[in-house]
Amino acid sequence: MNFDLNEIRQQITQVDRSLLKLLSERHRLALDVARSKEITQKSLRDVEREQQLLRELVQFAENHHYQLEAQYITQIFQRIIEDSVLTQQVYLQKKLNQQREQNIHIAFLGKRGSYSHLAARNYATRYQEELVEISCDSFSQVFEQVQAGEADYGILPLENTTSGSINEVYDLLQHTELSLVGELAYPIKHCVLVNSQQNLTEIDTLYSHPQVIQQCSNFIRTLDRIHIEYCESSSHAMQLVASLNKPNIAALGNADGGNLYGLQVLKTDIANQQNNITRFIIVAKQPIVVAPQIHTKTLLLMTTNKQQVGSLVDALLVFKKHNINMTKLESRPIYGQTWDEMFYLEIDANINNPSVQIALEELRQYSNYLKILGCYPSEIVKPVDVT
């Protein structure tokens, strides 16, 4: 038995490299699968195959006495499968929409290090593009930059698992000519960021964006006599705290962003909910076509006839009749029309599918106004249930 730490660590490094090599091999095979499905038009996701695969892996480990927990195996392979599905999606979408740009200009709220910036980086990486950053001061500026052709895409947060819908973005969608072309789920991990390692009790002022403050309200309530300074974005807050360089102030933001401004993490994981994820949408000037093999979502904007009793129910029943799953229903006031409401409906559907087109035609009978805001690949890969 060898107990030399350096030597054992060298062996671990070797094993990790072998794992990486195998992961890259699997990644390459996923691309071959995508090419095959491009020809056969077979659905990209095969839940039965995934379940079978996971069950067999757990059984295989058990038969070989690997001493690895079933849950551990399942979680790791669910993550691997997620990468495989998204890799295939990107391949099919790039082929179909003939994206040839070397780099993509993405407009986002805030400065470098904001959550929107980190999500934009993620989106560009997923599509294997070089990101050209276009930092904006407001959500409306993100829309304007894309409209003006300064940016290819705009990235905007639509909802968060802790604080819910981002109304301002929903309202801006009411008036835009842009189309939704994608979505992205980004895990949000809020931290307290400071200039130097001080004690939490020395802090009397917190700087951040209102959404972040709301998402960390339980933690903030535990602090004595704290003053809140609202900022345009969490990155503005981080930059301000870094430039003021005072011991009594802190920014709430993410560790990666804080790092860009030379801030240190004083406390991590301060959000009310551990599972704090923001769903971003990606907007562009032109709509995209989504390959039929891909799990697709469509966002609709609709008003119903208020004079007609049960008009919203009638509208929603159209989806039931056509076996279309609705993933979200949101309502927002219409400015200038007191008590009138605009409905946002997100459905699991591809508008190029003839049966979906029939359903949308039927929906028009129950709506005064109906607009397709966009049809886009769902980039949220729900893990299969293997219990």
Ligand X SMILES: C=C(O[C@@H]1C=C(C(=O)O)C=C[C@H]1O)C(=O)O
Interaction between residue 45 and ligand X (CB under 6 A): yes
Cβ pair 267, 200 in contact under 8 A: yes
- Residue with smallest beta-carbon separation from ligand X: 84
CB of 50 to ligand X, least distance (A): 5
Binding to ligand X (CB under 6 A): which residues in 244-283?
Answer: none
Which of helix, strand or coil describes residue 358? helix
* Edge-first strand listing for the sheet containing 205-208: 227-230, 205-208, 249-253, 191-194, 264-267
Cβ pair 236, 108 in contact under 8 A: no
Q: Which is nearer to ligand X, 94 or 285 (CB)?
A: 94
Q: Which is nearer to ligand X, 29 or 200 (CB)?
A: 29
Interaction between residue 53 and ligand X (CB under 6 A): yes
Binding residue for ligand X (CB under 6 A) from 30, 271, 290, 301?
A: 30
Q: Which amino acid is at 348?
A: D
Binding residue for ligand X (CB under 6 A) from 31, 38, 46, 292?
A: 46
CA 11 to chain CA centroid, nearest Å:
37
Binding residue for ligand X (CB under 6 A) from 74, 84, 89, 367?
A: 84
Q: What's the rounded Cα separation, in Å, for the pair 17 and 20?
A: 5
Are β-strands 277-284 and 337-347 bridged in parallel, bridged antiparallel, or unpaired? Answer: unpaired
Q: Which is nearer to ligand X, 31 or 260 (CB)?
A: 31
Q: Which is nearer to ligand X, 73 or 284 (CB)?
A: 73
CB of 328 to ligand X, least distance (A): 24
Picking from 369, 306, 302, the residue whose alpha carbon sits closest to that of residue 338 is 306
Binding residue for ligand X (CB under 6 A) from 9, 21, 35, 49?
A: 49
Q: What's the rounded Cα separation, in Å, for the pair 93 and 124?
A: 14
Q: Which is nearer to ligand X, 33 or 220 (CB)?
A: 33
Which of helix, strand or coil describes residue 261? coil
**Structural element, H or E, at residue 212:** helix 210-215
Contact stretch for ligand X (CB under 6 A) within 47-55, 113-121, 267-275, 283-291: 47-55
Interaction between residue 81 and ligand X (CB under 6 A): yes
Residues lying near ligand X in the complex (CB under 6 A)? 30, 33, 45-46, 49-50, 53, 81, 84-85
